[in-house]
Every structure is written in C-alpha cells, then in structure tokens.
Amino acid sequence: MSDTLVDFDEVLTRYEPVIGLETHVELGTASKMFCGCSTTFGAEPNTQTCPVCLGLPGSLPVVNAAAIEATIRIGLALGCRIATWSRFARKNYFYPDIPKGFQTSQYDEPLCIAGHLDVEVDGETHRVEIERVHLEEDTGKNLHVGGATGRIHGASHSLVDFNRAGIPLVEIVTRPIPGTGAQAPEVAKAYVTELREILLALGVSEVRMEQGNLRCDVNTSLAPVGSLEWGTRTETKNVNSLRSVERSVRHEMRRQAAVLDAGQRVLQETRHFHEDSGSTSPGRSKEEATDYRYFPEPDLVPVAPDAEWVEKLTAELPELPGARRTRLQEEWGLSATEMSWLTGAGALGLVDATVAAGATPGDARKWWLGELARRANDAGVELAELAITPRQVAELTALVSAGTVNDQLARQALDGVLAGEGDPAQVVESRGLAVLGESDELVSAVEAAIAGAPDVVAKVQGGKVQALGALVGAVMKTTRGKADAATVRRMLEERVL
Amino acid sequence: MSSPSPQERPGPGDTAGLGRQDVAQLARLARLALTDEELDHFAGQLSAVLDAVAQVGKADVGDVPPMTHAVPLTNVTRPDVVTPSLLRDVVLAGAPAAEDDRFRVPQILGEEQ
C-alpha cells in the first residue's frame, strides 16, 4: 500500500515543518559498557557474551570508565553542561534483543545537558539546540527467518545474536528544530553530517554508518503556516545513511501534508524507513515514557564527574571541524564557495594532510578535486577510499614541480599508484615515466624529426614558424610523451632556425 | 547536585490501588495474555501489595535528604580492558532453543503492519 504524497514545493505553501533527531552512536571502546566482553564487529555470533551482558541472575555490571569519558567529551564538543551528578536507570520493555528485560540507560539524570551545534545549508546557518547526551547500552541483533528477505513481517521465528548487546551507545537528542522550511531535509542531513565529523575528530567512534555505528531516529511534524502550535510528530526509526536522513524527512513531509489536506489527523507513531523506495511505513504504536517504568539502576552507583577532570577533558579537546574549516579557509585564502567545494567533496581532511606532507595548498586541491575526484567518481567510491595516501599525492606534486614528470606523465604515475605499484617515485622509475632531459635519446629523436620532414623545415625557414608544431608533435610521438614540449621546441629552433 | 526532590517522583503513597485497566496495560507491556478473571484477581493482589508498601509514605521524612543509593559511593568504574567471554556452547546451552549459533525465539508480533 503506498501513501498519497503531496509535491514537496506544494507542502511548503501550506505547512511548516518541525524536525528533531535522536542519534545513537556506538562508542569505539575495546570492551562493552558494563562488562569486559570485546566489541569487535563481525565476530562469530554469540562469541562475545558473558553473564553480565546476557543478564544472567547474580551478575553485576561495572561501568566502563572510557565510555564515561567519551560521552563527556562529546557533550563538551557540543557545548553542553556536564552534570555534576548523573545516574543510570532501567528502561523496562520486553523484546527478544534485550536479554535482561530492560535496557540500562539514563533517564532524568543524563551526563550532558543543553548544548548546540551550528550547521550550514546553502550559506545559511541553523542553530540546532541539543537537549541532552546520555549513555546507554546497545541491544542484540535479530535475524528474522522464514519470511521474505529477512523482514520481520511474515517471519516464522527469529534468531538472536547478543554480541552487540551491551556495547556502549551514546544517544544525542536535539530539541525540536522549527523554522527550517524548505531546507528541513537538508538541515537534518547537515546536522548528522556535522555530528559525524565531530565524533571522528574526537576519535570516540569509527562512525561507520554501514556497520550501524551511527543510527538516527528522525522526528517530523507539520503545522499549518502561521499556526502557533506544532503538529503531531512521527518518529522514523533506524535511518542509517546521511542520504536516508534527508529522504525520510522529505517523505514524511509529503505524506503528512496529504493526511492533513484530507482533513485527517497525523498519528503519533513509530515508522520504518525503506531504503529502496525512500518511503516509510507504520511500526508499533509509540510507547509512552511511563510505559517503560524507568527507575534508578540499583546495581550501579551514581557517576559524579569532578570539575577538575571535566576541565582537563575540556582543555584536551582536539580542534573541532568548524574551527578547523575557518582556520584552513583563512590559511589557504579560499572563498566560501571554494571551501564548500572542498568539504562537499569530502576532500578537506585529505587536502590538509597533503599540505602537511609538503604540497602547496593549490597543488593539493588541484589533484584531489580534479584527477582524483574524477577517478573516485568513475569508480563510485569516496575520495578517501581511493588507494592513494595524502603523502603519495604530495610526492606526486613534488615530482611535477621538480620537472621530473609533466602533468600527463603524472596522471600515468597515478594509475600505477592506484594499481598498487608503489609510491609515485617508484612508479615513475619502474614505468620509465620521467621526462627526458637533453639526452642522446632526445637529441636523436629531434634530429630524426628534422631529417624526416624536409618540407616542414623549409616552411619554417621560409618564415612560417608555427609549422614547427608539427616537428614538436613528431618528437613527442617518438618519445611517447616523455619529452618536455618546451625543451623540444627550443632544441628544434636551435637546429632549424 | 541535581538529584530529584521526592515530590518529582511518584512515591508508593501516591498509588491508591491498581485498577483493572492498569493491570491490563501492565500485562500488555509484559506481553502476557490475561483472562478477565485473572485481571480481577491480580488487580486485587497487586493493590494489596501496593497498600502494604504505601505505609512507608506515613513516615515523616521532612528533614531527611533524599537518598540516591543504598551505598554511599560514586564513580565505581573499570578500565576499558577486554576480558574473556563465555564459550558459545556454554552460552547456548542455557537457551530454550538455538539455531545457527543464535538464540531461537518465537515469532515477534505487533512490530510492523
């Protein structure tokens, strides 16, 4: 059953969206949140479990210090206030992926409160208020058997792997974000993108979305233009790529507009996002907070981060993406547009590292946004996934500036590097790509060209100097592009004129 | 310090008995199918338990600061170090049913429409 949808631009003539995001991030700790089981991704099912994360009777959890520290650092990076007193709570619900019958989470006393993150969309800055950042544990993974393509619908039974259960999970909750209008889908995406950059800069998580390190629940509501009250929101669960975040907001806006246009009410519910169609479908009816019967976790004592420690963590924060962008834009003398090309291509960090390895900012940008971007695009991968390091790109630019290779030969050297033949200098050596100096080989090629085209020589000597181009071309052909054109021209002129 | 004052939390004294509807709701959350007779039965029993606990509410605690934990400790943590897990065979031996090295559970209902 597919929903009626209103054209996106038309939605905005009648309604204003309010969005909100809950983002779950799996921390990159070595061990789980409350026990010493490994967190390694992709291990054989149920090989990383113990009495604590299986919720066996009599087992007692102990908090992973590194997870607390990572959460506080995330809070600080988002400008949050760090609580001086914080507790864990039990969130009670029954579902097969939760072995204890409750998830250890935080309720009324989270670790970090009231921060913000500024995101930019088309040159416009939107401030996203952060309500809270809290720490909890991940659940196990269900595999549904007997239905179509692993869907829960129609499955005969399910199989559970508890390796993931108990991995530290940080939840970052925004306050409702009003006033984004037509940019709502892009703001949602830009927020998650920026958040991901911050998490990477902090080094608290690998943030690999395809591995589920970062998962978003996206809230969307619509209210008639000019209305003082916000509409009823839906929560689209487990949106697992940046593009899907944008698409899910767009879809919900279009779907809810159709519901409201028909004079009906939007149901407050959980919805599932479908990657293939970009649409959403209803899930279980939303449980109220009271349904979870939260209560303080009696097996864990409170966490009270002392001020000195928080101060130390604040002082140790790395340069954050926003500050870094501002600094690099200034250092490299780029316009805002040029800067947005770099960030949009995911090339900022790569160019920075290439400059650090000795290239000029101009050369580094030229290669990453030019030849390398083209190859990444052809291969359908991200720039960072190309089999070349910033140091190798810097080496290539050095070979060009030293005149060892010209741009065309450098591109051939790039082929070799990408094919795994080694560093640029090695490839130039092994493939024999170096530009020919005034060597015997080049001299004989020049003389052969002159001898082979007496008619052209006569023309040049008769005053048609531009005819020399044909001779240059002939030399380049014999040397298979390895000669420097300017050198060849000079050598020809010396002999013909 | 932001530990909540006692007024912010519903104490046992606030629960004047459980109605049949409350029990039905709890049963739904616990994924239990109860008959009408059972609902009446448990509503009575659970109300009696709550009434008994509610006597705590009679104590005069005006001068007593709210207690956050039975043990007056904070920041009990462990270093982020991996320790050995259980062997899978041992883990799955405790499962009611297992298949493909995983815990086998019955069909999950009411999740997707």
Indicate the residue of A68, A85, A155 with minimum beta-carbon distance to B77. Answer: A68
Residue A121, beta-bridge partner list: A124
Q: Is A112 in CB contact (< 8 Å) with chain B?
A: no
Q: How many contacts (CB atoms, under 8 Å) link A and B?
A: 156
Q: What is the radius of gyration, based on Cα positions, of chain B? A: 22
- B32 within a domain of the structure (yes/no): yes
3-state secondary structure of A272: strand
**Banded pLDDT at B8 (limits 50, 70, 90):** very low
Q: Is B55 in CB contact (< 8 Å) with chain A?
A: no
Chain A partners within 8 Å of B18 (Cβ): none
Q: Is A344 in CB contact (< 8 Å) with chain B?
A: no
CB contact under 8 A, B76 and A157: no
Measured between CA atoms, the residue of chain B closest to residue A64 is B78
Q: Is B110 in CB contact (< 8 Å) with chain A?
A: yes
- B112 within a domain of the structure (yes/no): no
CB contact under 8 A, A47 and B69: no
CB contact under 8 A, A303 and B75: yes
More confident residue, B14 or A243: A243
Asked whether the beta carbons of A49 and A41 are under 8 A apart, the reply is no
The residue extents of the domains of chain A are: 8-313, 319-431, 440-496
Asked whether the beta carbons of A357 and A380 are under 8 A apart, the reply is no
Question: What does the alpha-carbon distance between residue B102 and residue A77 come to, in Å, rounded to a whole number?
Answer: 39
- B24 within a domain of the structure (yes/no): yes
State the SS3 of A399-430.
HHHCCCCCHHHHHHHHHHHHCCCCCHHHHHHH
DSSP state of A117: E
Q: How many domains does chain B contain in total?
A: 1
Question: What does the alpha-carbon distance between residue A44 and residue B85 come to, in Å, rounded to a whole number?
Answer: 12
- B43 within a domain of the structure (yes/no): yes
* CA–CA min distance B60, chain A (Å): 23
Pairing of strands A102-105, A168-174: unpaired
Share of chain A above pLDDT 90, in %: 44
Q: Mutation test of the interface with chain B: which of A2, A63, A158, choosing the one with the most B Cβ atoms within 10 A?
A: A158
Closest residue by Cα to residue A23 from A141, A210, A170: A170
CB contact under 8 A, A95 and B108: yes
Q: Chain B 2-31, CB below 8 Å of chain A: which residues?
A: 2-4, 8, 25, 29-31
- B111 within a domain of the structure (yes/no): no
Q: Is a pLDDT exceeding 90 seen at residue B85? A: yes
Measured between CA atoms, the residue of chain A closest to residue B104 is A159
Q: Read off the amino acid at residue B15.
A: T
Domain that holds residue B19: 6-60
CATH number at residue B35: 1.10.20
- B80 within a domain of the structure (yes/no): no
- B48 within a domain of the structure (yes/no): yes
Q: Is A54 in CB contact (< 8 Å) with chain B?
A: yes
Q: Residues 6 or more apart from A214 whose CB is under 8 A from it? A: A23, A24, A25, A26, A192, A196, A199, A205, A207, A208, A240
Strand stretches in A44-111, DSSP E:
63-64, 81-82, 89-92, 102-105
ipTM above 0.90, yes or no: no
Asked whether the beta carbons of A364 and A393 are under 8 A apart, the reply is yes
CB contact under 8 A, A281 and B113: yes
Q: Is a pLDDT exceeding 50 seen at residue A418? A: yes
- B23 within a domain of the structure (yes/no): yes
More confident residue, A385 or B113: A385
Q: Is A387 in CB contact (< 8 Å) with chain B?
A: no
Pick the CATH number of A440-496 from 1.10.20, 1.10.10, 2.170.15, 3.30.450: 1.10.10
Average of per-residue pLDDT values in chain A: 88
Q: Is a pLDDT exceeding 60 seen at residue B113? A: no
A450 Rama class: left (phi>0) / alpha (psi -120 to 50) / beta: alpha
Of the candidate ranges A146-155, A210-219, A256-265, the one whose mean pLDDT is the lowest: A146-155
CB contact under 8 A, A46 and B2: no
Instruction: Give the pair of three-digit tokens for residue A399.
Output: 């070979």
Asked whether the beta carbons of A36 and B86 are under 8 A apart, the reply is no
**Banded pLDDT at A248 (limits 50, 70, 90):** very high
Query: What pTM was computed for the model?
Result: 0.76
For residue B11, the model assigns a pLDDT of 44
Helix (H) or strand (E) holding A223: strand A214-224
Q: Is a pLDDT exceeding 70 seen at residue A399? A: yes
